[in-house]
C-alpha cells in the first residue's frame, strides 16, 4: 500500500530541492516513489503543477517513433511520424497516473500565494534512514496517510535542527 505525504515549503525552489533529494534516495534504494508533484500557488491565486513526468511529451516521442516505423512500412515515413506524434501527444495528455491532479489542485488551494506543496506518493521506504536524510529540511506537513506515530516522526525530522558538523569522519586506515 502506498502512502501520501504533502509538505508545504515557502518556495518552489525549496520544494524542488527536497524532491531532488528524495529522487537521490530512490537511486540508493532507500525509498520508492510512485509520484512526486510540486504544486505552486501563484500570486494571482492560480495553481501551477510541476509534474515528475511530462506524459504529453513522452507520448509524442513514443508516438512519433512508432508512427515513423509504421509509416516507413507503407512508404510514408513523414506522414506516419506526424500522425504518430499527434496521437501519442493526445494520449499522453489524457493519461494521468500517480496522484490525481484534481486532488492536488483542490488541496493546493489552501496554501498561501508564493508557497509550494510537495506531494509525494511513497510505495515503500526505509523510514529511519529516509527521515535521517531529510532531517532539518523544514516545511509544514499539510496532509499524510501515515499513522499518527509515523506522521509525528516525520514532523520531528522536518523541524529538527541539522548538526553543525555534517561531514562524517573518514575511517581510520587499515594496516
Q: Are 10 and 145 in contact (CB under 8 A)?
A: no
CATH number at residue 129: 3.30.70
Residue 171 within a domain: no
Residue 10 within a domain: yes
Q: Where in the sequence is the domain holding 49, given as residue range(s)?
A: 3-53+114-159
Could you report the per-residue pLDDT of 57-79, keeping only the tens digit for each? Answer: 555 566 666 666 676 667 666 66
Q: Are 59 and 91 in contact (CB under 8 A)?
A: yes
| Cα–Cα distance measured from residue 4 to residue 71, given in angstroms and rounded to the nearest whole number | 43
Residue 141 within a domain: yes
Averages of pLDDT over runs of 10 residues in the chain (175 residues) are: 91 94 94 93 91 59 64 67 63 61 91 94 92 90 89 89 46 47
- How many domains would you assign to the chain? 1
Confidence (pLDDT) at 57: 54
| Cα–Cα distance measured from residue 51 to residue 33, given in angstroms and rounded to the nearest whole number | 13
pTM score, whole prediction: 0.69
Listed residue (43, 25, 167) closest to 115, CA to CA: 43
Sequence-distant contacts of 78-84: CB under 8 A, at least 24 apart: none
Residue 106 within a domain: no
Query: What's the length of the chain?
Result: 175
Residue 39 within a domain: yes
Helices 77-94, 55-73: crossing angle, 10 deg rounding = 150
Could you report the per-residue pLDDT of 123-137, keeping only the tens digit for each? Answer: 999 989 999 999 988
Residue 26 within a domain: yes
Amino acid at each position: 500500500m502506498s502512502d501520501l505525504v504533502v509538505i508545504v515549503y515557502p518556495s518552489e525552489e525549496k520544494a524542488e530541492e527536497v524532491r531532488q533529494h528524495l529522487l537521490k534516495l530512490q537511486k540508493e534504494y532507500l525509498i520508492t516513489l510512485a509520484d512526486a508533484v510540486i504544486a505552486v500557488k501563484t500570486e494571482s491565486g492560480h495553481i501551477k503543477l510541476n509534474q515528475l513526468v511530462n506524459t504529453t511529451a513522452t507520448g509524442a516521442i513514443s508516438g512519433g517513433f512508432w508512427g515513423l516505423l509504421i509509416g516507413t512500412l507503407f512508404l510514408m515515413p513523414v506522414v506516419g511520424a506526424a500522425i504518430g506524434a499527434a496521437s501519442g501527444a493526445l494520449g499522453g495528455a489524457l493519461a494521468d497516473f500517480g496522484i490525481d491532479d484534481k486532488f492536488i489542485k483542490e488541496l493546493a488551494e489552501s496554501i498561501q500565494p508564493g508557497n509550494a506543496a510537495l506531494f509525494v506518493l511513497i510505495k515503500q521506504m526505509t523510514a529511519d534512514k529516509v527521515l535521517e536524510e531529510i532531517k532539518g529540511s523544514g516545511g509544514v506537513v499539510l496532509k499524510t496517510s501515515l499513522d499518527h506515530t509515523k506522521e509525528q516522526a516525520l514532523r520531528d525530522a522536518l523541524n529538527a535542527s541539522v548538526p553543525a558538523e555534517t561531514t562524517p569522519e573518514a575511517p581510520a586506515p587499515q594496516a
